[in-house]
Amino acid sequence: SLERRDFTGADPRAVLKEVFGYDDFRGDQGDIVSHVVGGGDAVVLMPTGGGKSITYQVPALVRPGTGLVVSPLIALMHDQVDALIANGVRAAYLNSTQSPGERAGVEQAYLDGELDLLYVAPERLSVPQTTQLLQRGTLSVIAIDEAHCVSQWGHDFRPDYLSLGDLDERFPGVPRMALTATATRATHQELTERLRLPQARHFVASFDRPNIQYRIEPKVDPRRQLVTFIRSMPEGSAGIVYALSRKSVEQTADYLAAQGLDALPYHAGLPAEMRAKHQSRFLREDGVVMVATIAFGMGIDKPDVRFVAHIDLPKSVEGYYQETGRAGRDGEASIAWMAYGLGDVVQQRRLIDQSPGDRTFKMRMGQHLDAMLALCETVACRRQNLLGYFGQESEPCGNCDTCLTPPDTWDGLVPAQKLLSTIVRLQRERNQSFGAGHLVDILRGASTERIRQQRHDELATYGLGSDLSDQDWRSVVRQLLARGILVARGEYGVLAVGEAGAAVLRGEAGVPLRRDVLGRGSNSGGSRV
Ligand code: ADP
Ligand code: ZN
């Protein structure tokens, strides 16, 4: 548009309407915008699809100067900038895909005060020249998107984010915002510290997506299970099927297509034209099932995705939440379906073991996996478990598989007591504590070098748990951790009795566990313990 209105100092709601075409702010958006327009810092925790972009785009237009947006995903940057330009916003980006000439053009536009929004990748900001350039112009607000990437313990750590800690010194007086859709209590605290936002106001939206029904089932015949699930959806439902590997994506897409479903593959190894074609068919046509690696979905704005299916176990609860969150953005009933099996667990443990990270890193990844498995194995409401993971308390939802069809359980009280008393004895008698692996070895009566060396075969509980397999025991440990009966401490994840453990030791609380967990057959369980 030739006649571009200057929105500096305008009413935020008028900008929302005129530029973005929305009648009203949603949820916390209005409060966040007025806080930032007033010059305040903000930490914004809002689920995917919650509408985070508006909360920095509107202040960027209303405050004098250019809004700087730090975003790690170059592909997303293109899309966001294109969408903004289509709305008449003067937006541009600086990243490694540009030619020097293009970059120079954007830099000049910034210096001339001709940009409302400038997107940069975090690594750009660790280059001193970028800071010098930005200091010569005027910034209205700095928005750090995907702020959880600064968390070294998170599932998506990016070292470049660490350099964003001193933006307050580089750009004093410019309000800063950290935004993320994945924040456990620990990540929330860590990003607030690392991005130095002690004065920020915190806006924490509910992470509940009530229109999504969660269903998780053990793998028996995964492809057939998947087809049965997809066929149970209304005709013409669009959906995403997530698989871990490219090969699995292609094979699954072929299989679904052979079953007469309109399924297309999508992963980073496919030619760009094919990816673009599949994406546009998914966006424009009804009933396309996209079979994809997790590379697909970020920044894809399709509100009527009716289901998200996982045929491989996600690496973390954060990842699961983010991926399933792509279903039902329009608020209509949608389903998050998953099948998981022992093979997934073995594969993921191997990936963790073979990863180049140090011991602490591997331990953290192992904890992410365990939390994911605890969600799979819970006898309680899936949503309660999921929201609890993000620090949000809730009642059983009535709209997940465990609420709708309570699973078959067995009473794990006796094995739980055996484990807890082993921990207590080691602590009291020898002042020792151990991680799950060694404790399970003791209970199963294993004859490892460590057990012989430490004379743990002399403990009263040695061999008392040989009726359960190693896998069963791991599952028991995960459930006890998830319920606070056990707690894991320190760098090595040594186990201690948690707050809820005392009642279990006294036999005053039941420990219901699922029968259908992993290798566990439907007839095994209670009677054996
Ligand atoms: P997030 O970044 O939190 O995942 P987005 O900023 O991409 O979410 O917004 C998600 C969707 O909600 C987009 O389609 C966006 O256009 C829409 N949206 C955002 N704010 C509003 C609003 N106030 N009214 C209506 N739709 C909105
Ligand atoms: Zn529920």
DSSP for 448-478, written as a single string: -HHHHHHTGGGSTTTTTTTTS-HHHHHHHHH
Q: Is the pLDDT of residue 360 over 60?
A: yes
Write the secondary structure of 165-226 as one string of H (helix), E (strand) and C (coil). Answer: HHHHHHCCCCCEEEEECCCCHHHHHHHHHHCCCCCCEEEECCCCCCCEEEEEEECCCHHHHH
Task: Supply the residue whose CA is at minimum distance from atom 18 of ligand 1.
Answer: 51
- The alpha carbon of 192 and the centre of ligand 2 are apart by a number of angstroms equal to 31
- Residue among 443, 503, 507 at smallest CA distance from 476: 443
Q: Is 52 in the pocket of ligand 1 (CB under 6 A)?
A: yes
- The alpha carbon of 209 and the centre of ligand 2 are apart by a number of angstroms equal to 12
Q: Is 53 in the pocket of ligand 1 (CB under 6 A)?
A: yes
In this prediction, residue 152 carries a pLDDT of 80
Q: Which range in 73-77, 221-225, 525-529 is most confidently predicted, on average pLDDT?
A: 221-225
Terminal Cα-to-Cα distance of the chain (whole angstroms): 75
Among 22, 31, 44, 305, residue to substitute to test ligand 1 (most atoms within 8 Å of Cβ)? 22
Question: Could you give the CA distance from residue 223 to residue 210 in angstroms, rounded to a whole number?
Answer: 28
180-226 pLDDT tens trace: 987 677 889 999 999 999 999 999 998 999 999 999 998 889 999 99
Q: Is the pLDDT of residue 525 over 70?
A: no
Among 20, 31, 87, residue to substitute to test ligand 1 (most atoms within 8 Å of Cβ)? 20
Question: Could you give the CA distance from residue 62 to residue 81 in angstroms, rounded to a whole number?
Answer: 18
- The alpha carbon of 451 and the centre of ligand 2 are apart by a number of angstroms equal to 42
Q: Is the pLDDT of residue 2 over 50?
A: no
Residue 9, Ramachandran bin (φ over 0: left; ψ between -120 and 50: alpha; else beta): left
- CB–CB of 290/312 below 8 Å? no
Angle at 356 between CA 390 and CA 219, to 5 degrees: 55
SS3 for 264?
strand
- The alpha carbon of 394 and the centre of ligand 2 are apart by a number of angstroms equal to 10
- CB–CB of 414/467 below 8 Å? no
Q: What is the percent of the chain with per-residue pLDDT over 90, rounded to a whole number?
A: 74
In this prediction, residue 517 carries a pLDDT of 77
Q: Is 22 in the pocket of ligand 1 (CB under 6 A)?
A: yes
In this prediction, residue 520 carries a pLDDT of 53
Q: What is the percent of the chain with per-residue pLDDT over 70, rounded to a whole number?
A: 97
In this prediction, residue 347 carries a pLDDT of 85
Both tokens of residue 207?
């992470």
DSSP for 25-71, written as a single string: --TTHHHHHHHHHTT--EEEE--TTS-HHHHHHHHHHHSSSEEEEE-
Residue 1: pLDDT band with limits 50, 70, 90: very low
SS3 for 434?
coil
514-523 pLDDT tens trace: 988 755 543 3
- Residue among 55, 75, 64, 183 at smallest CA distance from 119: 75
Dmax (CA) of the chain = 85
Among 44, 54, 209, residue to substitute to test ligand 1 (most atoms within 8 Å of Cβ)? 54
As residues whose CB is below 5 A from the ion ligand 2, the structure lists 381, 383, 397, 400, 403
Average pLDDT value over all residues in the chain: 91
337-355 pLDDT tens trace: 999 987 888 888 888 888 8
In this prediction, residue 493 carries a pLDDT of 79
Task: Supply the residue whose CA is at minimum distance from atom 2 of ligand 1.
Answer: 52
24-57 pLDDT tens trace: 999 999 999 999 999 999 999 998 778 999 999 9
Q: Is 5 in the pocket of ligand 1 (CB under 6 A)?
A: no
294-325 pLDDT tens trace: 888 877 879 999 999 999 999 999 899 989 99
In this prediction, residue 518 carries a pLDDT of 56
Residue 159, Ramachandran bin (φ over 0: left; ψ between -120 and 50: alpha; else beta): alpha
Among 26, 79, 82, residue to substitute to test ligand 1 (most atoms within 8 Å of Cβ)? 26
Task: Supply the residue whose CA is at minimum distance from atom 10 of ligand 1.
Answer: 49
361-402 pLDDT tens trace: 888 888 889 899 999 999 999 999 999 888 888 999 999 999
Query: What is the separation of C-alpha 433 from the centre of its chain, rounded to a whole number of angstroms?
Result: 31
Q: Is 51 in the pocket of ligand 1 (CB under 6 A)?
A: yes
- The alpha carbon of 367 and the centre of ligand 2 are apart by a number of angstroms equal to 23
- CB–CB of 118/92 below 8 Å? yes
Angle at 489 between CA 488 and CA 493, to 5 degrees: 65
Q: Is the pLDDT of residue 458 over 50?
A: yes
Q: Is the pLDDT of residue 441 over 50?
A: yes
DSSP for 487-499, written as a single string: EEETTTTEEEE-T
The mean-pLDDT minimum among 152-156, 405-409, 471-475 falls in 152-156
Both tokens of residue 288?
């396309």
Ligand nearest to the CA of 180: 1
Q: What values do phi and psi take at 180, rounded to 5? A: -155, 155
48-64 pLDDT tens trace: 778 999 999 999 999 99
Query: What is the separation of C-alpha 463 from the centre of its chain, rounded to a whole number of angstroms?
Result: 39
Residue 16: pLDDT band with limits 50, 70, 90: very high
Q: What values do phi and psi take at 487, rounded to 5? A: -130, 145
Q: Is the pLDDT of residue 492 over 80?
A: no
